[in-house]
Chain A
């Protein structure tokens, strides 16, 4: 057992917390190893490894929460941190308005491991970096890009969770991500293309086989050529309403921002008001609010293979689960913690996750996915569209603090004319109000076009935490969308 010593320390911390007055306590020990590499403009820019190990103790005392963490893994420090967590909880209680209540859960026991075909850490460094060098060179074989980048990240987290209610479980999560991008500059224009997704890379719970499946080298020349071609492409039509077909790599971010965040129950209850805000999906709307068209169904599922939100248990020891956020267009489900679920008289569906040992768990998206429809392939969907714009790969994203008004920009657009893709369009943007936008969705591509995407960079909380979330999506069509906001 990799956590033999730490298990004893966790028990000690729980005992100390109980002795100091905690009515509930949990302890998490987390080791995270990450390697990132970047090849930029033909040179290895970065090979960076990090290794972090520590523990956090979360308690309820005097009916309020406290949390403390340390990287010093000793018995004395376990005592100190547990005592500090209780001291903090008692300080929290000076202005409490209600006692903390937790929805019941059976104590978690056992172990979970991400399925991995090819352990990315076992591969030779030169093989990992060599692939980036080749992909970067393939982009630079095209004349024109100013800046090229290729990168990967491999990520392994091992964690032990014990609670005063008897939970004792271990998990090992392995993730692998990769991406390439090319930037072209000229005549007052800056254009970027990236692959397979925006933001540097896409990521899955998987081994090196995930990198190989994307064929970075084979796609590199196309990406570079598109970046250059966009410099002289026609501008997106300015401030018009039209039909938009959105590719799955962009649509997954639309799901993330306009569904994933608003269904976080802590946000809906006001607990995140000061940072990214609240949610228009307030509890009285649960089960009745028309979120989108009948075509729109969105699933919460922490069991989906490969998803960045897949696990055995969340960081409160609640087992992985699956359910609906939106079913046939109606809002029916939240992402919940034990505390927020209790406020609705429901059991938790297990979505509390922390960014390492030094942060406390928050409600995070697990895998929140738009389910496939019956519109066939992307080619079928385009063929079925008379007039509009196809938009692909995110470039810009923003949404208001209730998750209603959003605006996205994509790297690439293409005209759709009489069922065929036409000229490139540069600087495409689209904007709308969330339920109106999803209400205008009249077609989602079939399961053959559905892919699980990963966003390894979701920010939430104060102090800030980075979450890894999964989003499946297939291309979809939306009618009467406002596009072309940029002058």
Chain B
């Protein structure tokens, strides 16, 4: 499937800006071409493709702002969206804290995040790879569920202030839960290049772990030393990252409020690096502002936050180029979108060998804030939870519920893995955040309940 291409997106943006009636205007186009082959019970049961592009027009009249989004990218549809946004801006009450649209600023080149092989993947290619994974599950008398997806995205931002930014990117993903008679296991890979995803290795990891996970035993909830696989660490990174923003500090929701320059975690370093070639790099944000590398936590010390233009203007800071695509109910917000927990020196097996008695967690499930200011999150373990005794995996255990402050848990870091795993924002990467994280060994982690399997 071909791209929309830069000239076409530029034409759409310019047509939109031309049709607006206000002091300032901004046009953002996000174009996606996506295919996802979903499987369960060792067969493909959902298999979809879509091609969709949306235009978002923001018009400013004085301190009044209107925003309209549309999928109708014909000439009439573009003009209608621009007119509608202008009408809203003329009618809306003033927003005295609105700082205007940001000016154009130079955008440094970033490594390419686009791989033609991913963009060109056909339904048959996806299905053939899935068939290979399913064959391995069947050979071991196990049942696999999951998906393999390929997505290409083009993002363009233009404004009356001279902003123009365009970047194409791709992402391929495969993930699977493999189920046996009495236990499940998980494996996942994400890459910009579909050719770098070894589906057979994913199948081997998940099926081998699934066989080891059969027949979990009871283990009393309580506080344990843990080794978290990167799948679980990705969840911690997502929650911690969402608190390392200017807006969450401004609103008093962040655990680093009033603590910049002070120790907030153990010996881990967390950065947001839009130029990491392995991390779906992109040099600008959804306001067309240049994205900066930001050190968020340096060896446990809170060092920085990410900002969008509006929040930065409000609190006297400078945009770091981390604005996300506005949602209907959250127009101005920033997030770390290329978050990396820096690698350590130990392999996963070395992390496990250091634990006298603890728990190995493959991944977390259904995690939610309980108390954001204290970064307390609840959730479940899932798809492979094991007791570690004397540095060895002893046996599988039934899944736990945890209720745990994530930054307190990071405060007990005893080891950091040397292998970073890439995690994409979701099945299709619209406006989301990618992460690269290692396995972690944490001194204490509190499990507050357990389930029946």
Name A residues whose Cβ lies closer than 8 Å to a Cβ of B.
34, 36, 38, 41, 43-54, 56, 64-71, 84, 87-89, 91-92, 94-98, 125-126, 129, 133, 146-147, 151, 153, 183, 185, 188-190, 200, 269-274, 276-277, 358-360, 395-402, 404-405, 407, 409, 427, 429, 431, 433, 461-464, 482, 485-487
Q: Are B328 and A153 in contact (CB under 8 A)?
A: yes
Bound Cα distance from A34 to B326, whole angstroms: 15
Instruction: Decide if B127 is an interface residue (CB 8 Å cutoff).
Output: yes
A126-B91, A463-B36, A463-B428 known; A91-B124 Cβ under 8 A: yes
Q: Are B329 and A200 in contact (CB under 8 A)?
A: yes
Report the stretch among B101-109, B233-241, B279-287, B445-453 that lies at the interface. Answer: B445-453
Bound Cα distance from A359 to B368, whole angstroms: 26
A87-B123, A463-B428 known; A50-B328 Cβ under 8 A: yes
Instruction: Decide if B345 is an interface residue (CB 8 Å cutoff).
Output: no
Q: Are A146 and B252 in contact (CB under 8 A)?
A: yes
Within the complex, the shortest CB–CB distance from B16 to chain A, in Å, comes to: 14
Q: Are A92 and B65 in contact (CB under 8 A)?
A: no
Report the stretch among B22-30, B159-167, B265-273, B372-380 that lies at the interface. Answer: B372-380
Q: Are A400 and B177 in contact (CB under 8 A)?
A: no
B38-66, CB < 8 A from A: 38-54, 64-66
Q: Are B67 and A47 in contact (CB under 8 A)?
A: yes
Bound Cα distance from A431 to B400, whole angstroms: 13
Bound Cα distance from A446 to B14, whole angstroms: 59
- Point out the residues of chain A lying under 8 angstroms from B51, CB to CB: 69-71
Q: Are B49 and A69 in contact (CB under 8 A)?
A: yes
Contact of A94 among B50, B131, B253 (CB under 8 A): B131
Q: Which of A66, A91, A461 has the most CB of B within 10 A?
A: A91
Nearest B residue to A35 via CB reads B328
Q: Which of A34, A190, A397, A462 has the most CB of B within 10 A?
A: A462
Q: Are B123 and A147 in contact (CB under 8 A)?
A: no
- Point out the residues of chain A lying under 8 angstroms from B49, CB to CB: 67-69, 84, 88
A51-B81, A91-B123, A400-B451 known; A185-B373 Cβ under 8 A: yes
Within the complex, the shortest CB–CB distance from A254 to chain B, in Å, comes to: 14
Bitwise, B420-453 to A at CB < 8 A (1) or not (0) is 0000001110000000000000000010111111
Instruction: Decide if B291 is an interface residue (CB 8 Å cutoff).
Output: no
Report the stretch among B140-148, B196-204, B354-362, B386-394 that lies at the interface. Answer: B140-148
Contact of B143 among A66, A96, A270, A404 (CB under 8 A): A270
Within the complex, the shortest CB–CB distance from A174 to chain B, in Å, comes to: 17
Instruction: Decide if B7 is an interface residue (CB 8 Å cutoff).
Output: no
Q: Are B44 and A96 in contact (CB under 8 A)?
A: yes
B281-312, CB < 8 A from A: none
A400-B366, A401-B365 known; A274-B40 Cβ under 8 A: yes
Instruction: Decide if B175 is an interface residue (CB 8 Å cutoff).
Output: yes
- Point out the residues of chain B lying under 8 angstroms from A87, CB to CB: 123-124
- Point out the residues of chain B lying under 8 angstroms from A464, CB to CB: 426-428
Instruction: Decide if B18 is an interface residue (CB 8 Å cutoff).
Output: no
Q: Are B134 and A486 in contact (CB under 8 A)?
A: no
Q: Are B92 and A48 in contact (CB under 8 A)?
A: no
Q: Are A273 and B177 in contact (CB under 8 A)?
A: yes
- Point out the residues of chain B lying under 8 angstroms from A54, CB to CB: 52, 71
Q: Are B67 and A48 in contact (CB under 8 A)?
A: yes
Instruction: Decide if B334 is an interface residue (CB 8 Å cutoff).
Output: no
Instruction: Decide if B170 is an interface residue (CB 8 Å cutoff).
Output: no
Within the complex, the shortest CB–CB distance from A91 to chain B, in Å, comes to: 4
Bound Cα distance from A477 to B71, whole angstroms: 47
Bound Cα distance from A224 to B267, whole angstroms: 40
Within the complex, the shortest CB–CB distance from B172 to chain A, in Å, comes to: 14
- Point out the residues of chain A lying under 8 angstroms from B128, CB to CB: 94
Q: Are A462 and B147 in contact (CB under 8 A)?
A: yes
A96-B44, A273-B179, A405-B401 known; A462-B427 Cβ under 8 A: yes
Contact of B380 among A269, A397, A405 (CB under 8 A): A405
Contact of B48 among A68, A190, A276 (CB under 8 A): A68
Bound Cα distance from A464 to B173, whole angstroms: 14
Bound Cα distance from A273 to B88, whole angstroms: 44
Q: Which of A95, A404, A433 has the most CB of B within 10 A?
A: A95
Q: Are A405 and B328 in contact (CB under 8 A)?
A: no
A50-B69, A97-B41 known; A91-B368 Cβ under 8 A: no
Interface size range on B against A: 35 or more
A36-B328, A49-B84, A400-B366 known; A360-B371 Cβ under 8 A: no
Within the complex, the shortest CB–CB distance from B26 to chain A, in Å, comes to: 13
A43-B95, A65-B45 known; A463-B70 Cβ under 8 A: no
Bound Cα distance from A433 to B398, whole angstroms: 14
A-B residue pairs in contact (CB < 8 Å), sample of 15: A41-B97, A43-B94, A43-B95, A65-B45, A70-B52, A88-B123, A91-B126, A95-B43, A151-B329, A188-B374, A274-B40, A396-B369, A429-B403, A462-B46, A463-B149
- Point out the residues of chain B lying under 8 angstroms from A129, CB to CB: 92-93
A48-B69, A48-B328, A462-B36 known; A68-B453 Cβ under 8 A: no
Q: Are B97 and A43 in contact (CB under 8 A)?
A: yes
Contact of B401 among A271, A358, A431 (CB under 8 A): A431
- Point out the residues of chain A lying under 8 angstroms from B382, CB to CB: 277, 400-401
Q: Are B131 and A46 in contact (CB under 8 A)?
A: no
Instruction: Decide if B278 is an interface residue (CB 8 Å cutoff).
Output: no
Bound Cα distance from A91 to B451, whole angstroms: 39
Q: Are A274 and B175 in contact (CB under 8 A)?
A: yes
Instruction: Decide if B399 is an interface residue (CB 8 Å cutoff).
Output: yes
Within the complex, the shortest CB–CB distance from B46 to chain A, in Å, comes to: 6
Instruction: Decide if B251 is an interface residue (CB 8 Å cutoff).
Output: yes
A95-B127, A133-B93, A190-B253 known; A47-B40 Cβ under 8 A: no
A53-B72, A67-B49 known; A98-B43 Cβ under 8 A: yes
- Point out the residues of chain B lying under 8 angstroms from A67, CB to CB: 46-49
Nearest A residue to B54 via CB reads A52
Instruction: Decide if B190 is an interface residue (CB 8 Å cutoff).
Output: no
- Point out the residues of chain A lying under 8 angstroms from B365, CB to CB: 277, 400-401
- Point out the residues of chain A lying under 8 angstroms from B374, CB to CB: 188
- Point out the residues of chain A lying under 8 angstroms from B449, CB to CB: 405, 407, 431, 482, 485
- Point out the residues of chain A lying under 8 angstroms from B207, CB to CB: none
Contact of A274 among B96, B176, B251, B330 (CB under 8 A): B176
Instruction: Decide if B331 is an interface residue (CB 8 Å cutoff).
Output: yes
- Point out the residues of chain A lying under 8 angstroms from B149, CB to CB: 462-463
Q: Are A51 and B69 in contact (CB under 8 A)?
A: yes
- Extra inter-chain contacts (17) besides given A53-B72, A190-B253, CB under 8 Å: A48-B331, A50-B328, A64-B44, A88-B49, A91-B47, A91-B122, A92-B47, A272-B145, A273-B40, A398-B366, A401-B382, A405-B452, A407-B403, A427-B370, A482-B449, A486-B371, A487-B446
Q: Which of B97, B130, B175, B449 has the most CB of A within 10 A?
A: B449
Contact of A66 among B39, B47, B332 (CB under 8 A): B47
- Point out the residues of chain B lying under 8 angstroms from A153, CB to CB: 328-329
Bound Cα distance from A56 to B49, whole angstroms: 10
Q: Are B71 and A45 in contact (CB under 8 A)?
A: no
Contact of A46 among B84, B126, B329, B401 (CB under 8 A): B329
- Point out the residues of chain A lying under 8 angstroms from B46, CB to CB: 65, 67, 360, 461-462
Instruction: Decide if B37 is an interface residue (CB 8 Å cutoff).
Output: yes
- Point out the residues of chain B lying under 8 angstroms from A125, CB to CB: 88, 91-92
Bound Cα distance from A53 to B36, whole angstroms: 21
A97-B42, A400-B451, A405-B449 known; A485-B48 Cβ under 8 A: no
Within the complex, the shortest CB–CB distance from B272 to chain A, in Å, comes to: 24
A49-B88, A65-B47, A396-B370 known; A433-B36 Cβ under 8 A: no
Bound Cα distance from A133 to B96, whole angstroms: 14
Q: Are A46 and B328 in contact (CB under 8 A)?
A: yes
Nearest B residue to A257 via CB reads B366
A-B CB proximity, top 7 nearest = A185-B252, A36-B328, A273-B145, A190-B373, A91-B127, A405-B451, A91-B123
Contact of B326 among A48, A64, A97, A274 (CB under 8 A): A48
B320-338, CB < 8 A from A: 326, 328-332
Q: Are B147 and A274 in contact (CB under 8 A)?
A: yes
